[in-house]
Structure 1
């Protein structure tokens, strides 16, 4: 078994933007310090929740470098280094390594890339030249490529390939990945309790941006097998975690985090703020989490 470095919550931290829509590093530093203060010990920089796809390569690299410097060894760091060109993924991964990042998360080939297992394997084998542990990213509904149990077994033959993050949202398929006995991380907010019960190795959690304290309490109870306590805490989290998974995910995380005191500004265009009607629905779903989390800020 490869050494797995990323148990528990790895926060897919939102990227703050200023009033002109530019990455706001000062605000990012403030957020990182707040999350560290409540106990977050794993971060994903330039994540999907952090709008990786809407950052230029230079913006993403600058974000990774700055975030890693702020964290300064106080938490594990995963950086997303996904790109259309393999050479760009390798270059971004080497940059992340130079910044002291512990591992990278990489989408399989997308946008008319290879969809057969051989093509996906060759892609990740090439990415391994970047020199960091690789977490594959299973989100077939978005990229059209699925990492199946048989493909995961094959990918883990690559020395640098550590695990797969499953954001399919399909509990049965995720359970099949867990049954391989290989490291697997959950990336579907609404499935967190079921994933932990099934035995996932770790979590990459975007929704934890708006409820880090409560999410940590929940995971702590689950890891201690205090399932009655975990169920009670999940009852607070479930309405919002299920709602954001239904659509407008990134915009909803930004809006919810603003309500609970972990605001990162507005999402970057082409995404826009939630409508007033959706804000009201989200506020209702958050319930007592707003006050509960603000007490921790």
Structure 2
């Protein structure tokens, strides 16, 4: 069987913003270099954690183009190209591929889009014509579409549809997807070790922005079946990964990354910086990680 191209950690990279709210491309490229130095070999550009929904199409395209140029073949690149209009998704997909992305991540149709299986299959089949590996996205509480095992099996028959990122947070549901035999990527931070043990092939991990070394160490231990070591590493990660999942996810990741030393500025409006009480809680949850990460806040 051909090796799955998105194994291991794919860092859902934050998008840095300056004080005016504009993308800080210099900081963006600097972050990429720093994460590559820690050993990160997979990135998601214009990710949900990177505020894709609050980037214009031109901003997202420029971010992907610059990110691909900065990475320059040193890591695998997934570009999020989700949009409301199918033609826009196809345009974004071709743009990402032209600049060196290895695959694209695409939400199912949302905001009054089709919810029946036939409509979802037709949608992804149309995107697949761009001849770029596609990662579907299962986050039913956000878009109102669930990729069930039965639907996944049909989607997997589409040329270039390679996997589903499951961000439902439902380990039982993810296990059902894994049992189809097709590769599944976990996108729920608190489920990471359990998803890997269940057979998830890869991770798209926003929380890795603030703990890249720990996250890489966990993935490496799991790869070799060292589950006692996985559990030890997870004890350091679990307080923060569980806390950020409880709400204000993007704001929490930005705050945590800043506290550890991987700051990306404040999130873009309409999101605001994490409030003081939650920042204190995040700081406490990060205590087991700071020394291992070796970054001065």
TM range (shorter): over 0.9
Partner of 1:199: 199
Name the structure 2 match of 1:144: 144
- Give SS of 2:291's match: helix
Shift of 1:3: 4.5
TM-score, with normalisation over the residues of structure 2?
0.98
How big is the shift at 1:287? Answer: 1.3
Please say if 1:48 is aligned against 2:48: yes
Give the superposed CA RMSD.
Answer: 1.1
1:293: how far off? Answer: 1.6
1:260 and 1:290 in contact (8 A); partners too: yes
The 2-side partners of 1:73 and 1:81 are apart by 20
Residue of structure 2 equivalent to 1:69:
69
- C-alpha spacing 1:5/1:296, structure 2 compared with 1 (3 Å): farther
TM-score (norm 1): 0.98
Q: Are 2:10 and 2:204, in contact at CA under 8 Å, matched by a contact in 1? A: yes
Provide Cα deviations, 1:100-151, integer angstroms capped at 9, x if missing partner: 1000000000000000000000000011122210000000000000000000
2:213 match: secondary structure: helix
- C-alpha deviation, 1:2, in angstroms: 5.7
Q: What's the counterpart of residue 289 of structure 2?
A: 289
Q: CA deviation at 1:294?
A: 3.2
Q: Quick check: 2:260–2:295 contact (8 Å CA) kept in 1?
A: no
Aligned to 1:13: 13
* Structure 1 residue ranges without an equivalent (≥5): none
Q: Which residue of 1 aligns with 2:133?
A: 133
- 1:164-183 matches, within 5 Å, as 164-183=164-183
For 2:182 and 2:229, how far apart are their aligned partners in 1?
A: 28
Q: Where does structure 2 lack aligned partners over 5 or more consecutive residues?
A: none
Q: Is the 8 A contact 1:16 1:28 kept in 2?
A: yes
- In the alignment, the residues of structure 1 paired with residue 245 and residue 22 of structure 2 have an alpha-carbon distance, to the nearest angstrom, of 26
Deviation at 1:295, TM superposition (A): 4.1
Mapped pair 1:274 → 2:282: no
Q: Which residue of 2 aligns with 1:162?
A: 162
| SS of aligned partner of 1:30 | helix
Give the structure 2 partner of residue 113 of structure 1: 113
Map Cα deviations across residues 35-79 of structure 1 (whole Å, 9 max, x no partner): 000000000000000000000000000000000000000000000
Separation in 1, partners of 2:82, 2:281:
33
Mapped contact 1:2–1:162 kept (Cα < 8 A): no
Q: Which runs of 4+ in 1 moved over 3 A?
A: 294-297
Distance in 1 (alpha carbons) for counterparts of 2:2 and 2:187: 20
Say if 1:261 and 1:293, in contact at 8 Å, map to a contact too.
no
Q: Does 1:39 align with 2:39?
A: yes
Cα deviation, residue 266, structure 1: 0.4
Q: For the residues of structure 2 that align with 1:272 and 1:11, how far apart are their CA atoms?
A: 22
Q: How many Å separate the matches in 1 of 2:282 and 2:250? A: 13
Structure 1 equivalent of residue 250 of structure 2:
250
Residues 1:263 and 2:263 aligned together: yes
The separation in 2 between residues aligned to 1:246 and 1:133, in whole angstroms, is 32
Separation (CA, whole Å) in 1 of partners of 2:264 and 2:276: 18
